[in-house]
Structure 1
Amino acid sequence: MSDRRKFIKTAAFGTMGLATVYACQQKKEEKKDVVKKELNKPLIISTWKHGLPAAEKAWETLNNGGGGIDAVEAGVMISEADPNERSVGYGGLPDREGKVTLDACIMNSNSDCGSVSFLQGIKHPISVARKVMEETPHVMLSGKGALNFALSKGFKEENLLTEKSKKDWEKWLEKSKYKPVINIENHDTIGMLLLDENGDLFGACTTSGAAWKLHGRVGDSPIIGAGLFLDNEVGAAAATGLGEAVIRTAGSAMVVEQMRLGKSPAEACKEIVERIYKKHRNHKDMEYLQVGFIAVNKNGEYGGYSLRSGFDFAVHDNKGSRMENAGFKMEWN
């Protein structure tokens, strides 16, 4: 064999060897990354500080053998029942007629979902939404129909207007000026996202909506694709803030689609907040516009982002529970 042939043969084997080593090393790194990501399950994230006890309740439910849908329902019920949370459930600030009207939705890993809007007199709309999902052929029930359905399922009708909220409403009546107050002092809505040990996603969202709204107004929170959305192959997202802006952009569904395109949860949230800003920067709502999103993907990565500062969210995983601040585009004026 000539020297030239020997050189070509040796070089070829050398290249093959290097390629094999590189491939093995790459597989090891990929495997290491997968293991690292899988360690972040189960994972629960929820909006605002009142999302912390809610996430803790959801975690407790999982540890006691409950499923993901049981956990998100039990979690957000904590906020719904707390009269000190003025924008969720019992004790929520009323509409301009003094009526507390509630919106909620819930969604499981199979994309089954249930929703109620403009519901009055029922403390836990999230539980009614679950009944809609599991016991009807529909996704959403509204108003009197939602109330009648709830009563038929054994829910108790009760007055949700606390004395504190009633006094605030009476004070508002003195000027009767409607201007949404959605900022760092008014933590509206609770959205909760859960990734369980099997890698399945679940979500819930519930609110009493904007204070002093027109009677009959419905925000984004009960709308699948706006206030909440998940795709069990990709990830999940939930919204908070001015519902009209979220509805106009199908906010949560768009966050999930950004994750489908390869963005991280935080990057996906930021992308849609930027989109909302561009569409609203010359809009009449811009002076008080605040929107924020939380998101989680199938690998247990999570994140959040808001238009203005002040948005934080609760995280509960194997490291424990904590609050984290979301990134934001601008400060409040």
Structure 2
Amino acid sequence: MNNWAVISTWNMSYEGLKTSADLLKKGTDAKDAVEKLINQVESNAEYTSVGYGGLPNENGIVQMDAAFMDGNTLAQGSVAAIENVKHAVSVARKLSSNKTNSFLVGEGASNYAMKNGFEMTNMLTANAKKTWQQKVKETHEHDVHPYAGHDTVGAITLDQNGAVTVATSTSGLFMKKNGRIGDSPLSGSGFYADSDIGAAAATGLGEDIMKGCLSYEIVRQMSAGRSPQEACDSAVYSFCKKLKQRYGQVGEISLIALNNKGEWGVATNVEFTFCVADNKHKAQIFTANPAPNNKTQISAFN
């Protein structure tokens, strides 16, 4: 049997990962498999950091960021601060076929989606609106820090032909400033893929992840011969140390990686869940935690 594999961030991606695994097992290409995974997360209103039901910005508007990269061609597409679009990652995938204008933001991204027949809908659910209204009240009355809920869904697929694809989608920081963009749609920071090597994807505080271009750095280290786990540990922990020393603080940072052999790796500075499946193992959720000596401790999710 030819190798195939899929890895994704957070336990919320589990059902989508199982769908993706079934497709890869049947010989579906990596591009379709990763898009289906992300779409399933985007459609679920229970997940408040991605897609429909995502938590809004300071103005009560759900603005989404997403990206898609084909590791065979290095083609990539991104959208940022896109509104009223059910599947931001699908728009990013279509943009990846463009030689120019492959990264669109704000009104331009939303209009592109509408003109090209993507499903448009009000992404603010009643529950998300209620949560936003409560947070506005709390912030006004108690001057509390409003930001929370920035769990990007990122996924990497390896198909039976050896192609690697990566994609991301997020509604970003809850109560973020209007137009704020994190790392998720930014090549090299939130994602990177090269089918000759593998891919990586990030989740966490985008403003800090951007400072290290960590997804590209992990792929670079894999190209130099490091395993995905070695590359993740080396890139993430050394950068977190540097950022704390030079910037004074470091937010939540977690990354996943998959090479073109189907081997995977994860590193994080907080407790972090992720999902994996391949041609030898059924879909499973794991928990990762930072451990001493710049290593990552991984255990089965309970």
Q: TM-score, normalised by structure 1?
A: 0.81
* Aligned equivalent of 2:115: 152
| d(CA) in 1 for partners of 2:27, 2:260 | 21
Moved more, 322-331 or 296-305: 322-331
CA contact (8 A) 1:40 1:299 kept: no
Q: 1:90 aligns with which of 45, 52, 77?
A: 52
Kept in 2: contact 1:40–1:300 (CA 8 A): no
What is the deviation of 1:164? Answer: 1.0
Q: Which residue in 1 is equivalent to 2:228?
A: 265
Decide whether the 8 Å contact of 2:27 with 2:159 is kept in 1. Answer: no
Is the aligned partner of 1:222 residue 2:185? yes
Distance 1:179 1:270 in 2: 31
- Where 1:98 maps in the other structure, the secondary structure is coil
**Please, which runs of 5 or more residues in structure 1 have no aligned partner?**
1-38
Indicate the larger mover: 277-286 or 221-230: 277-286
Q: 1:307 aligns with which of 269, 273, 282?
A: 269
Is the alpha carbon distance of 1:123 and 1:85 closer, same or farther for their aligned partners in structure 2, counting shifts above 3 Å?
same
Q: Shift in Å at residue 147 of structure 1?
A: 0.7
Q: CA contact under 8 A between 2:150 and 2:172: conserved in structure 1?
A: no
Higher helix share: 1
Alpha-carbon distance in 2 for matches of 1:140, 1:153: 15
For 1:247, which of 210, 214, 235 is the aligned residue?
210
Find 1:296's aligned residue among 258, 261, 264: 258
Structure 2 counterpart of 1:57 = 19
Verify: 1:180 aligned to 2:147, yes or no.
yes
Q: Does structure 2 retain, via aligned residues, the 8 Å contact 1:220–1:243?
A: yes
Which amino acid in the other structure matches residue 83 of structure 1? A
Distance 2:88 2:211 in 1: 24
> 1:219 and 1:271 mapped to 2: Cα distance?
23
State the 1:174 CA deviation.
1.5
SS in 2 for 1:62: helix
- Report if the CA contact (8 A) 2:150-2:173 is conserved: no
Deviation of 1:77 (Å): 0.4
One-letter code of the match for 1:131?
A: K
Structure-to-structure mapping, 1:31-70, within 5 angstroms:
41-63=3-25, 66-70=28-32
Matches within 5 A, 1:109-148: 109-135=72-98, 137-148=100-111
Tell me the secondary structure at the aligned position of residue 160 of structure 1. Answer: coil
1:136, CA displacement in angstroms? 5.6
Amino-acid identity (%): 37
Q: Mapping of 1:268-279 within 5 angstroms?
A: 268-279=231-242
Q: Which has the higher strand share?
A: 2
Range that drifts further, 92-101 or 64-73: 64-73
| Residue 61 of structure 2 corresponds to residue 99 of structure 1 | yes
Contact persistence 2:11–2:274 (CA under 8 A): yes
Partner of 1:7: none
Q: CA deviation at 1:314?
A: 0.4
Q: Given the alignment, which residue of 306, 312, 320 partners 2:282?
A: 320
RMSD: 1.9
User: 2:154 aligns to what?
Assistant: 191
SS state of the match for residue 293, structure 1? Answer: strand
Q: Provide the rounded CA distance (Å) in 1 between the counterparts of 2:197 and 2:184.
A: 21
Match of 2:34, SS state, is helix
> Retained in 1: the 8 A contact 2:79–2:105?
yes
Structure 2-normalised TM-score? Answer: 0.89
User: CA 1:290/1:52 → structure 2, altered by over 3 Å: closer, same or farther?
Assistant: same
Deviation at 1:327, TM superposition (A): 4.3
Distance 1:179 1:260 in 2: 40
Report the secondary structure of 1:175's partner residue.
helix
Shift of 1:160: 0.7
Question: C-alpha deviations, 1:270-299, integer Å up to 9, x for none?
Answer: 11211331233254653xx21111001122
Paired residues of 2:198 and 2:219 also in contact (CA < 8 A)? yes
Equivalent pair of 2:7/2:274 in contact (CA under 8 Å): yes
Question: Partners of 1:198 and 1:65 in 2: how far apart?
Answer: 8
Of 200, 212, 216 in structure 1, the residue corresponding to residue 175 of structure 2 is 212
For 1:214 and 1:40, the matched residues in 2 are separated by 46
SS of 2:11's equivalent in the other structure is coil
Deviation at 1:148, TM superposition (A): 0.8
